Structure 1
Amino acid sequence: MFWKRVILGCLITLNIFLFVRMLVSDQGFFSYRELKSDYITLEAQLAEVQQKNLELSQEIRLLQSDADYIERVIRQRLNFVKDNEILYIFPDATKVGTAGAAQDEGKD
């Protein structure tokens, strides 16, 4: 009878130890939840990168084969114009607003 109680006590202690370790160890439940959250975040980032990669691949194909697209890109990004065209470049509204506010503060 005594040995049964000793063995039962040891088994209960072992079960409590294993349960606590299952929750808080490096391979426990809380670590699993954190890793699962990281996995979901990385999956979303991977999907974004794959979408960006697809867009860039399409742009590369267009730049290699479509002369109209090449002309449009050059005109937009480099501000090139054809003969007898006039290019108007307007200042960015956010830059003008912050510059004007800085000038107003200096007048006080």
Structure 2
Amino acid sequence: MFWKRVLLGFLVILILFLLGRMLISDQGLFSYRELKAEHEALEQQLSELREKNLALSQEIRLLQSNPEYIEKVIRQRMNFVKDNEILYIFPDTIKEGRAGAAPDEGKD
């Protein structure tokens, strides 16, 4: 009878110890949930990067093979014009690196 109580007490202590480790330790449930949330965030970031990579790959193919697209990109990004065209640049649409200085440059 005494040994049954000792064994039962030992098993209860062992179960409480294992339960505590399962919940609180570095490899426990709370750590698992944190790692799972981090994994999902990284998966989302990976998906976004794959989409961006696909878009850039398509743009590279267009730049290598489509003269009309090349002309369009040059005209948009570098503000090139054809003969007998006039380019109007409005101050609120100037972005840094396009058509000279940024709109807030020189304001100090």
Same fold (TM over 0.5): yes
Query: Which residues in structure 2 correspond to 1:1-108 (within 5 Å)?
Result: 1-92=1-92
Matched length: 98
CA–CA distance in structure 2, aligned partners of residues 54 and 15 of structure 1: 52
Aligned residue identity for 1:58: Q
In terms of mean alpha carbon deviation, does 58-67 or 34-43 score higher? 34-43
TM-score by length of 2: 0.84
Aligned residue for 1:92, secondary structure, equals: helix
Gaps of 5+ in 2: 96-103
The one-letter code matched in structure 1 to 2:5 is R
Instruction: Please report how far the alpha carbon of residue 87 of structure 1 lies from its aligned counterpart in structure 2 after TM superposition.
Output: 0.5
Structure 1: distance between partners of 2:76 and 2:91: 15
Cα distance in structure 2, aligned partners of 1:47 and 1:73: 27
Deviation at 1:79, TM superposition (A): 0.3
* Unaligned runs of at least 5 residues, structure 1: 103-108
**For the residues of structure 2 that align with 1:76 and 1:16, how far apart are their CA atoms?**
68
Larger % of helix: which?
1
Q: With CA pairs under 8 Å and 6+ residues apart, which has the higher RCO, 1 or 2?
A: 2
- Segments ≥4 residues shifted beyond 2 Å: none
CA RMSD of the aligned region, Å?
A: 2.0
